[in-house]
């Protein structure tokens, strides 16, 4: 699942910052948003919106960032976001699976 999420985030980043920049840089789990990608705050907002459209309101990038101090935000890697999304989507899928049993349909 993580490689799929990483690929989707990479696609979103290409959409936000342009492929001419990201083609020179391979986005990996260790790629940092600040130092490697030099993402501006407005680009984080755009990423948050794309994540919301793709994964739903539960993947709240701004809420995820709010839990971190400034140093942690500046050092954050793409892998941390991939892990966060994987954890949220896994929890959501578990809840959907638990709620879709025949006993709950009646």
CA 31/CA 37 separation, integer angstroms: 8
Question: Does 84 have pLDDT greater than 90?
Answer: yes
Is pLDDT above 90 for 106?
A: no
Higher pLDDT, 14 or 19: 14
**Percent of the chain residues past pLDDT 70, beyond the cut:** 81
Distance in angstroms between the alpha carbons of the first and the last residue of the chain: 32
Mean pLDDT of 27-46: 91
Whether the pLDDT of residue 21 is over 50: the answer is yes
Q: What are phi and psi of 99, to 5 degrees?
A: -85, -10
Residue 49: which pLDDT band, with cuts at 50, 70 and 90?
very high
Quote the CA–CA distance of 39 and 50 in Å, as a whole number.
15
């Amino acid at each position: 699942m993580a490689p799929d999420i990483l690929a989707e985030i990479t696609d979103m980043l290409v959409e936000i910052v342009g492929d001419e920049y990201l083609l020179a840089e391979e986005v990996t789990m260790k790629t940092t948003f600040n130092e490697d990608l030099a993402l501006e705050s407005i680009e984080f907002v755009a990423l948050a919106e794309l994540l919301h459209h793709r994964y739903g309101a539960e993947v709240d990038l701004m809420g995820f960032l709010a839990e971190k101090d400034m140093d942690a935000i500046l050092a954050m890697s793409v892998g941390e976001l991939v892990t966060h999304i994987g954890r949220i989507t896994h929890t959501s899928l578990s809840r959907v699976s638990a709620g879709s049993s025949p006993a709950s349909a009646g």
